[in-house]
Amino acid sequence: MFSQVRARLVPGLTRLCGGLNSNAAIKVAPALCRHQHHTSSPGSAGVKVLYDGLCPICVTEIRFLQFLQRNQPGKVDFIDISLPGYDGEKYKNVSYEMAMEEMHVIDEKDEVHRGVPAFAVMYSAVGLGFVGRLMMSSPVRPFMDKSYAIFARNRLKWTGRGEECTAGRCEKKTH
């Protein structure tokens, strides 16, 4: 069973991680290529996803979405707001502080979406439109809004980053 999973996983990781050989892909599988931060020019993609690259939960989801859209380069641009060069003026004036409060996505029409609607736009852009439609449906949306509000309010504490994020930019822990 493991050999079948490995046979399918390694080629995908090799492509995803920029040409790693199969032995290296096996070693980085748990990390899913942590070295990759896709920050590019503001006008380069149809959809721009602003995410916190120091949030392990956020990064896990973004890596999955990057994997899903790997065959459609330029369709979605994942912007790591934690990088020193992040400039909110380039992204519809979404400041670092605003982006840290809740998820922001800029769609193909250059409209900014926040919170649950941002996730719906993001999922649709990578081919998971059914997930976005489900999240936005009237029976599910109130639950999603409440759940996401709780997550957004507590994610720094839940990911062990509350102390270094109390003022200004968050800094990566250096234990």
Task: Give the CATH number for residue 95.
Answer: 3.40.30
Average pLDDT estimate for 75-81: 94
Residue with tokens 């599988």: 29
Q: Please list, in sequence order, all residues whose beta carbon lies within 8 angstroms of the beta carbon of residue 61, skipping any fewer than 6 positions away.
A: none
Asked if the structure places residue 59 within a domain, the reply is: yes
The domain total for the chain is 1
CA–CA distances in Å: residue 145 to residues 34, 49, 56, 88, 152: 29, 19, 21, 25, 10
Question: In terms of pLDDT, which residue wins out, 172 or 129?
Answer: 129
pLDDT digits (tens, 9 = 90+) for 121-165: 999 999 999 999 999 999 999 999 999 999 999 999 888 887 666
User: Does an H or E element contain 50, and which?
Assistant: strand 47-51
CA distance linking residue 54 with residue 82, whole number of Å: 6
Please state the φ and ψ torsions of residue 26, each to the nearest 5 degrees.
-65, -40
For residue 61, the enclosing domain spans: 39-164
**Is 30 part of a structural domain of the chain?**
no
**Residues 143, 121, 39, 66: is their CA dihedral positive or negative?**
positive
Domain assignment present for 110: yes
Residue 17 belongs to a domain: no
**Model confidence pLDDT, tens digit, residues 18-67:** 444 444 444 433 334 333 344 444 445 699 999 999 999 999 999 999 99
CA 13-18-24 angle, 5° bins: 55
Residue 170 lies in a domain: no
Confidence of residue 76 (pLDDT cuts 50, 70, 90): very high
The pLDDT assigned to 161 comes to: 82
The pLDDT assigned to 29 comes to 38
What's the pLDDT band for 168 if we cut at 50, 70, 90? low
Q: Is 90 exposed, middle or buried (0-12, 13-18, 19+ CB in 10 A)?
A: middle
pLDDT at 33: 39
pLDDT at 4: 46
Q: What is the pLDDT of residue 10?
A: 44
Length of the chain, please?
A: 175
| Residue 112 belongs to some domain of the structure | yes
Please tell me the least confidently modeled range out of 38-42, 75-79, 81-85, 90-94: 38-42
The CA distance from 107 to 22, in Å, is 36
